[in-house]
Amino acid sequence: IASLIETAKINGVEPFAYLKATLEAIAAGHPQGRIDELLPWNFKPSS
């Protein structure tokens, strides 16, 4: 978790928003084959 938080910060992403969106996507059944979409540098906050 600490690594994800720091990676989010390095990539200019707010850690809480990133973790919340990522965990929600996983819980909603995000496909394992597309895990790269959930990495901090690919995160696009919802407007």
Parent domain of 13: 4-42
Distance (Å, whole) CA 9 – CA 28: 25
Residue 31 forms part of a structural domain:
yes
Count of structural domains, the chain: 1
Residue 15 forms part of a structural domain:
yes
CB 40 within 8 A of CB 4: yes
Residue 38 forms part of a structural domain:
yes
pLDDT in tens, 1-47: 899 899 999 999 999 999 999 999 999 999 999 999 999 999 987 75
Residue 47 forms part of a structural domain:
no
Residue 18 forms part of a structural domain:
yes
Residue 25 forms part of a structural domain:
yes
Distance (Å, whole) CA 47 – CA 4: 22
Residue 30 forms part of a structural domain:
yes
